[in-house]
Copies of this chain bind each other. A is one copy, B any other.
Amino acid sequence: MRQVTIYDIAKEAEVSISTVSRVINDTAPVKGSTRAKIEELIQKYNFQPNAMARGLLKNETGIIGVIVPDLTNPFFPEVLAGVEHEAMQSGHTFLLSNTIGDYAKESEYLSIMREKRVDGIIFMGGRINLKHCEEHLAQELVQFANVIPTVLVNGGLRGTDLIRVAADESAGTALAVQHLIELGHTGIGFIGGEVHMTTTSIKLRAFRKAMKDGGLKVREEWMLPDSFSIDSGKRQMHHLLAMKERPTAVFCVNDYTAIGAIKAATEAGLSIPDDMSVVGFDDIPLAHHFIPELTTVSQQANELGKTAVNVLKAMMNKEKVKKLTTLEPQLIVRQSARSPRK
């Protein structure tokens, strides 16, 4: 089914294609009667100009590429919602790619996005979360960013000056740990995350600092990174429960691991928060509805998405933008943490 083109409209209206183009884009005055006739025809055939043809000429697509590591982790849809809201304002749509942390897939998508000539991309997860990113992966992204406006969300590439938007995870961690300390906890554990990823090492460092600032000692055997899944939270809580001495509270790198930890503790007969306090990170929508409701740290995922788009738009307009835009996390106090039993 061939779609109708500007030629079809022009022919039937007995004008040139330029005139049709003019009424479509309202780019120059057109006589009322011809305009009316053309508009009627556009209506009649439900004509939509071909974005590829236009894009080819104007060298833009109206498409923003978004690369996320894991759509099934509710944090990302939340960011996406923010991205979409903001993108829509300016008539941008977005091309989505789920990389499941596979670097090859990231490369592939990067390549596709270049072919498609997206107007800009927002990159999350994968290589930009690595403490030590392989040189060729880093270079690939740098080269990409040389050609297409790029913003990295919650990550970065050391030694490069790619534009970044990030929540201050260090401050967020401090908030959580301080809360636990104020509640009276003295033995606090750390669960989840992967040590080779910056999002974890940042939290690890902030955790140690907050403990020290609070006059507390960190017990190395209670430092239990693993991964970001619910199961890893469970696993490490089991681990903890098997010890003769346990912390009275744990900080988890995200809400998933916190949920896992609570699950494992509950199954083992503990009551959260009476027998142990747990705080999470991210404030996913379910945190509010879990039993018990999760005390956690909000990264303002939605805001993060909006901000990323706005920075990206500024770049697309060739405006000057800050290398790093930081969002302040907030502590969300709910039910999963309270003062320890005497």
Contacts and interface: CB of A to CB of B under 8 A. Distances in A.
16 contacts: A3-B114, A46-B143, A48-B115, A52-B116, A52-B117, A56-B56, A62-B116, A71-B77, A71-B84, A72-B81, A84-B96, A93-B97, A93-B109, A94-B95, A262-B291, A290-B290
Given A56-B53, A263-B291, A286-B286, A98 B81 contact: yes
Nearest to A115: B51
Copies, count: 2
Closest 10 CB pairs of A and B: A71-B77, A51-B115, A48-B114, A52-B52, A96-B96, A51-B116, A52-B56, A52-B55, A48-B115, A230-B289
A214 interface: no
Interface in A90-119: 93-98, 109, 111-112, 114-117
A286 B74 CA distance: 10
B290 A1 contact: no
Interface in A184-199: none
Nearest to A57: B52
Interface in A254-312: 259-260, 262-263, 266, 285-286, 289-291
Contacts of A143: 46
A29 B227 CA distance: 50
Report whether over half of chain A's contact residues are helix, strand or loop; otherwise say mixed.
helix
Contact of A95 (B77, B95, B263, B285): B95
A112 B50 CA distance: 10
B56 A50 contact: yes
Contact of A115 (B50, B97, B112): B50
A266 B291 CA distance: 9
A242 interface: no
B95 A93 contact: yes
A34 interface: no
A146 interface: yes
A165 B230 CA distance: 31
A329 to B, nearest CB: 20
A120 B180 CA distance: 52
A147 interface: yes
Contact of A112 (B53, B93, B112): B93
Contact of A116 (B46, B56, B74, B93): B93
A72 B77 contact: yes
Given A48-B111, A52-B61, A56-B56, A98 B80 contact: yes
Contacts of A260: 289
A8 interface: no
A78 interface: yes
A96 B97 CA distance: 10
A63 B3 contact: no
Interface string A129-147: 0000000000000010011
Q: A62, A96, A143 — which one has the most chain B CB atoms within 10 A of its CB?
A: A96
A131 to B, nearest CB: 27
Interface string A36-55: 00000000001011111101
